[in-house]
Amino acid sequence: MLTVNAYAAESAGSRLAPTTITRRDVGPKDVLIEIRYAGICHSDIHTVREDWGPVQHPLVVGHEIVGIVAEVGADVAKHRIGDRVGVGCMVNSCRACENCLAGQEQYCLNGNTGTYGSVDVDGTITQGGYSTHVVVDEDFVLHVPESLDFASAAPLLCAGITTYSPLRHWNAGPGKKVAVVGMGGLGHMAVKLAHAMGAEVTVLSRTLAKKDDGARLGADDYRATEDPETFTTLANTFDLIVNTVSAPLDLDAYLSLLRLDGTMVNVGAPPQPLPVTVFSLFRNRRSFAGSSIGGIRETQEMLDFCAEHGIVPDTELIDASYINEAWDRVLASDVRYRFVIDAATFA
């Protein structure tokens, strides 16, 4: 076993502090990764604060991980020492259910193994990327293309794939009008990706404060949802709305913006239920859907797509000692647009 530096909170209400954790010995199919950068996802905060239910503390979170392969098990075929690799929200799945066999491990019918807070093969609770090293089965380790700036690439492993997957599934592309609700970590990636796929992109943010950024990221239009006129002007407009907001919204108001057969997909994960009036769905035969991260194959496809199109998240690189302040800023929507921790500072 390897003892490594990490950051964790002692309880749901406490601040994160330096600690040490152990990583399992490298098994035949395992890869030991020296973590270089770890992104801060709003889900890290929801989890530690127990917004979605109790967790076993102390817990090391972080599921936007990039690093360098430091050791490989005897049977590892996909990765070599020195490779630039990434790990996202999953580190294993049953591999036998119909969803796993379809490459949709995120929907594993037996429950995939999350990068943190899940029961691992050895019975321990998985610990995430706010750390210097991690040991992961090679099948859940991605290749990070050389052309992607390494620090900026980390958030692709969650924010990137979580927005790429629904955009692809609902065919964002030329001739499609896509709205992105909330321009934070996920939202700004949705804008970049939908634009690169050729869709016409509108940002629906609370205010116009980030309008210039929206245009720079590729948005064709940018509207304030605090302005009621937005909802009358844009009624019956969009083919697809991707909602990235971490808090409850008035779904009926947003559904009214969908044109015939349009879909609103929720990737934002507020703990509260979101009520829908069925008549909002009857009108224009609208759909309301959810989407969770993406499969391993699709995550690699997304990384390659980003390399091809020169897309990386807009990031602010921080030291580990700044994590608590960064979390406060994420909660205050004061993030442009993803914090990334320099793993060298966990030491």
SS3 34: strand
Point out which residues pair with 342 in neighbouring strands: 37
Q: Which part of the chain contacts Zn ion (CB under 5 A), choosing from 155-163, 251-259, 279-287, 320-328?
A: 155-163
- Alpha-carbon span 116 to 84, nearest angstrom: 21
Of the candidate residues 26, 35, 48, 108, the single one contacting Zn ion (CB under 5 A) = 108
Q: Pick the closer one to Zn ion by CB: 72 or 100.
A: 100
- The structure tokens 């992607």 sit at 148
Question: Quick count: other Cβ atoms within 10 Å of Cβ 9?
Answer: 23
Helices vs. strands in the chain: H and E counts, helices first: 11, 17
* Single-letter amino acid, residue 149: D
Selected from 43, 106, 165, 205, the binder of Zn ion by CB under 5 A is 43
**Binding to ligand NAP, residues 245-284 (CB under 6 A):** 245-247, 267-269
* Shortest distance, position 35 Cβ to Zn ion, whole Å: 16
Chain centre distance of CA 12:
21
Q: Is 87 a binder of Zn ion (CB under 5 A)?
A: no
Between 93 and 299, CB nearer to Zn ion: 93
Query: Which of residues 102 and 247 has its CB atom nearest to ligand NAP in the complex?
Result: 247
Q: Which residue reads 């239920």 in tokens? A: 273
d(C-alpha 87, C-alpha 134), whole Å:
9
The yes or no reply on residue 320 touching Zn ion (CB under 5 A) is no
HSE, side-chain direction, 13 A CA sphere, residue 334: 6
Q: Which does 152 bind (CB under 5 to 8 A by kind): Zn ion, ligand NAP, none?
A: none
Nearer Cβ to Zn ion (65/69): 65
CA angle 187, 190, 195 (to 5 degrees): 135
Which positions from 148 to 177 touch ligand NAP by CB under 6 A, shown as an x/- string?
----------x---x---------------
The owner of tokens 């992961």 is: 136
Among 158, 181, 245, 320, binds Zn ion (CB under 5 A): 158
Counting contacts by CB under 5 A, is residue 45 touching Zn ion? no
Answer for which of 12, 94, 208, 274 binds Zn ion (CB under 5 A) is 94
- Are the C-beta atoms of 27 and 73 separated by less than 8 Å? yes
Binding footprint of ligand NAP on the chain (CB under 6 A)? 41-43, 46, 158, 162, 182-187, 205-206, 244-247, 267-269, 291-293, 330, 333, 335
